[in-house]
Amino acid sequence: MKEREHYGLGTAISMIVGICIGSGIFFKADDILAATGGDVWLGVTVFVIGALCIIFGSITLSQLASRSTKTGGAVSYFEEFVSSKAGSAFGWFQMFVYFPTIAAVVSWVSGIYTLSLLGLPNTLEYQIGLGFLYSTFFFLLNYFSLKSGGRFQNVTTFIKMIPLIGIGLFGLFWTTAAPALPVDTVLVETSSVGWGWLAALAPLAFSFDGWIVSTTITPEVKNHRINMPIALTIGPLIVLAVYLFFFLGMVTVVGPEYILSTGDGAISQVGTSLFGENGQSIILSFVLIAVLGVVNGLSLGYIRLPHSLATKNMLPFSEKIAAIDPKRELSPYSAGIAYAAVVFWLTIHYFTQKVDLLAGGDISEIAIVFSYVTYILLYLKVMKLKKDGAITSRFLGIVAPILGITGSLVILLGGLFANPVYSPIFLVFSGFVCLAGYLYYRGKENRMKVGQA
């Protein structure tokens, strides 16, 4: 059945912008600046590289999306253009690693900003505890009330843009000197990092992540073969402009050394510098709402993923997991599996942060880096379509995929620079999860063949 084409170019662009601009920029901007040694213009260069990786990657995948006959986004692209076994492999990675690690980290960050807003002790234990409560609340909200979760998402999408654009506007006219560091804070000065700036690509990938979801609406966009490549070019450029506006505004207001020295706490001082005594509470309120919007959005989407894989028979007990509760219009087993995975990774995240195992990074960054590596296989499939004559444009079939592959390799290199010891281990672990999904589906296919013999 052909999808009804009811989205225009404007809707496609706004969806891409809304998905990409999340919470990451609020707590990753300082990580990006730290990786560049406080070199602001090198930080700007990193942002531009990230935008280009997205533009060429998303344009390339739009060629698969416009030809896909299945639903489910990236999993369906692997399933249809590579193999069902590859779809199962990528689906297992998304279900057991990608989504739950991101949801766990964003839940933890919501705890950080809540404690800062309330002036409570900002210990890791309190942060994780609050993150657990937030995650539990939003899973319950999205399971028991579909409309409430959707409404909350719409409100927070608008609210998160206010501090990003507002801080950028203030930065244009800011002339006051940088504030003094808080008492007992050690000054971290700008420094030369050499090729170490590549480590900034890991937190940057987190900030830009989510763009691949936008390719799922390609069949529903009017004249999508023309409009989607346009949207997938303009959308990331708008995200880049907003991020640079915020980044440069923040640096102008408090200075690079303040950001290097205080890390995530710099955003609080931005509020104080702009609005006085109550400024910290004002800016933190906006940021917290934005972060909670991401926790809600991840919960809203993730509780459906196990069900989606089960309908493709890619999971054990697929029949049970695929069963829908008619009252809730969702699968209780699907929601339960998703919630359990987030709690598991939140626990893992606690231990990695407790001993600083990832050198200032987190588990989600490595999962995102791995996802970029998997996209390379899809980029190669697009090049195969060009070779077979299904794609006539040299740019869409050769240039964009090659640049997309280059972008994925650059982000992989950045992830390895960010944590050369544990990144390879976690990347290999993600590969084993994919292998498990691949072997499970292959075993199921073999059993079906034996049964039919």
What whole-number distance in Å separates Cα of residue 17 and Cα of residue 331? 30
Q: Quick one: fold of 9-148+192-248+284-452?
A: Amino acid/polyamine transporter I (1.20.1740)
* CA–CA distance, 256 with 39 (Å, rounded to integer): 8
* Structural Rg of the chain based on CA atoms: 22
Secondary structure of residue 325 in the 3-state scheme:
strand
Half-sphere exposure of 260 (CA within 13 A, CB side): 19
CA–CA separation, 74 and 65 (whole Å): 9
CB 37 within 8 A of CB 197: yes
How confident is the prediction along the chain (453 residues), in pLDDT tens digits per residue?
A: 444 555 678 877 876 777 777 667 877 888 889 889 999 999 999 889 888 887 888 888 888 877 877 766 788 889 999 999 999 999 999 999 998 999 999 899 899 989 988 988 889 999 999 999 999 998 998 888 767 766 776 677 778 788 888 999 999 989 888 888 888 888 888 888 888 888 888 888 877 777 776 666 666 678 877 787 788 788 888 888 988 999 999 999 999 999 999 887 888 889 999 888 888 899 889 888 888 888 887 887 788 889 889 988 999 998 999 888 888 778 899 999 999 999 999 999 999 888 877 766 678 888 888 999 999 999 999 999 999 999 998 998 999 999 999 989 988 988 888 778 788 888 999 999 999 999 999 998 887 777 665
- Among 436, 382, 425, which Cα is nearest to 91's? 436
| Residue from 230, 248, 273 nearest 48 by CA | 248
| Alpha carbons 231 and 410: distance in angstroms, whole number | 24
Q: Where are the alpha helices (DSSP H) in 255-265?
A: 256-262
Q: Calculate the alpha carbon distances from 445 to 84, 101, 309, 431 in Å.
A: 10, 30, 15, 21
The torsion angle over the Cα atoms of residues 175, 178, 180 and 184, rounded to 10 degrees, is 160
Distance CA 351, CA 347 (A): 7
Q: Does residue 326 sit in helix, strand or coil?
A: coil
Q: What is the DSSP string of 131-184?
A: HHHHHHHHHHHHHH-HHHHHHHHHHHHHHTHHHHHHHHHHHHT--SPPPPPPTT
Q: What whole-number distance in Å separates Cα of residue 144 and Cα of residue 317?
A: 23
First to last CA, the chain: 32
Q: What is the pTM of this model?
A: 0.85
Cα torsion at 76, 411, 295, 130 (round to 10°)? Answer: 140
